[in-house]
Amino acid sequence: MTISEASKKYNLTQDTLRYYERIGAIPPVHRTKSGLRDYTPEDCGWIELVKCMRSAGLPVEAITEYVKLAREGDQTIAQRKLLLTTQREQLQKQMETIQQAISRLDYKISRYEEAMKTGILTWD
């Protein structure tokens, strides 16, 4: 798969794909004999992983560290697990904060809905 095809498939610019490869967020992409990027299913799996991690808010530094460790082999399994566990814990804390904000907004919205029905707005 060419970089143009990968760009369209994953809705990422070609510059973003090159950037991810340059900084190590994805391992070096396979190349044709003439040096053009030729994305294999394995390369695509790395793109899918980085997209997932980025959409979850993980910093690029954490992703590049994970890729570096993965490329070092099975002796880094414990380190990779720790990295992912730490990131998951941070995401769970963010999710709890967001849920608290949503709950507060839901409460305030319900107060406005009640005020629209009764004509009385109480603040608390």
Give the CATH number for residue 96.
1.10.1660.10
> Rounded CA gap, 73 and 50, in Å?
19
Question: Which pLDDT tens digit goes with each residue over 42-98?
Answer: 999 999 999 999 988 888 999 999 999 999 999 999 999 999 999 899 889 999 999
Residue 124 located in a structural domain? no
DSSP state of 31: B
Residue 123 located in a structural domain? no
Q: What is the mean pLDDT of the chain?
A: 94
DSSP three-state, residue 37: strand
Q: Give the residue numbers spanning the domain of 8.
A: 3-118
Q: What pTM value is reported for the model?
A: 0.76
